[in-house]
Amino acid sequence: MKNLSRPVPPGGTIGIVGGGQLGRMLAMAAARLGLQTCIYNDAPDAPAFQVTPHHVVAPFEDADALAAFAARCDAVTFEFENLPAHAIARLADSVWVAPGADALAITQDRLSEKSFVEKLGLAVAPFRDVSSSEQARAAFADLGGPAILKTRRFGYDGKGQAKVTSAEECAAAFEKFKGAACILEGFVDFAFEASVVAARGADGSFAAYDPPENLHEHHILRSSTVPGRLSPAQGDAAKAIARTIADALNYAGVLAVELFVGADGSLTVNEIAPRVHNSGHWTIEACQCSQFEQHIRAVAGWPLGSPVRHADVVMENIIGAEADAWENLAKGGALHLYGKKQARPGRKMGHVTRLKE
């Protein structure tokens, strides 16, 4: 293992695995701090390749490419959690990796994630392990319906999910996922959705942003509004949930916790994202230190920045062909486009942040 210098000084290189818009915005935040970045992605033409001269194109399982990448970097992080565990272990052999392999292992599997959150004494939706058609039927009978069958791994934006209203539907949905391990989740009755984006330094320091209210359409985030309908007390409770989780994971970096907010004010943990999060994009304009800079600071071992919000704000995603209206979108707010060539349906092409003036 090389002699790791922490904090990584200006001029050092942060490796970012994943070349999408999150990697792109992380690289731009690193540049502001005088840090260089190298992006590792499994396909060329990645959005993040447009904002740094250094990148690697190789499969995420390529041991040699990972080793060479690690050798170029002073610290490594990820823009997404669905990486093979052995790839992370390979990187961690030779370079500081944040968040660590443990945090990724827990959060990339819905069953281990939910079990972990439940053990911390935090509210989660009722859930059952589903590894066979028989278990699928039994789980539905146990939880009652309607419920949602979800693959344990590799789901995002509603992919790998099916709503089921009977034991037979539940078994059929399991078959459709081709034997992938699943969990069945009971429905949570909620008034609205929210999230909390927070950072923990490797030294235990902690900084949470104000929790936005989130609106989803077709399982894709449509908008985040701050302040939303969360009361200040609920906001504090949400931040405390994020801290409990981050401390228990001995986390370094930014994480997001998606929450269901009940009509009775209760907060139920939906899922944890061990990375910067779409519902935190508004921090670029509304806070002195954005979630992207905050993550880079935590990964590089720098002091965390201020998460104080200095404006009310709404962030709206630009999805698919909506990006064609870029000229109009540029009139109304801070426009972010991710450099993606093809505007496929459901694809996140950019976002607009509007500060209330």
Kindly list the residues in this chain that would bind its own copies in the complex (CB under 8 A): 7, 9-11, 24, 28, 31-34, 36, 49-53, 55, 285, 288-289, 293, 297, 302-303, 305-306, 308, 310-311, 323, 326-327, 330-331, 333-339, 341, 350, 353-355, 357
| Residue among 220 and 311 whose Cβ is closer to its own copies | 311
| Residue among 321 and 330 whose Cβ is closer to its own copies | 330
Rg over alpha carbons for the chain, rounded to the nearest Å, is: 20
CA distance 107 to 168: 29
**Beta carbon of residue 172, minimum distance to its own copies (angstroms, whole number):** 42
Distances (CA, A) of 99 to 3, 81, 273, 316: 19, 10, 11, 27
**Beta carbon of residue 28, minimum distance to its own copies (angstroms, whole number):** 6
Residues whose CB is less than 8 angstroms from the CB of residue 157 and which lie 6 or more positions away in sequence, other chains included: 219, 220, 346
CA distance 97 to 144: 42
**Beta carbon of residue 311, minimum distance to its own copies (angstroms, whole number):** 5
| Cβ pair 334, 240 in contact under 8 A | no
Nearest alpha-carbon partner for 183 in 231, 126, 235? 126
- Record the tokens describing residue 313, joined without a space: 């704000």
**Beta carbon of residue 320, minimum distance to its own copies (angstroms, whole number):** 14
Is the bond preceding 7 in cis, omega lying within 30 degrees of 0? Answer: yes
**Beta carbon of residue 267, minimum distance to its own copies (angstroms, whole number):** 26
| Residue among 146 and 333 whose Cβ is closer to its own copies | 333
| Residue among 259 and 296 whose Cβ is closer to its own copies | 296
| Residue among 163 and 310 whose Cβ is closer to its own copies | 310
**Beta carbon of residue 334, minimum distance to its own copies (angstroms, whole number):** 5
| Residue among 44 and 121 whose Cβ is closer to its own copies | 44
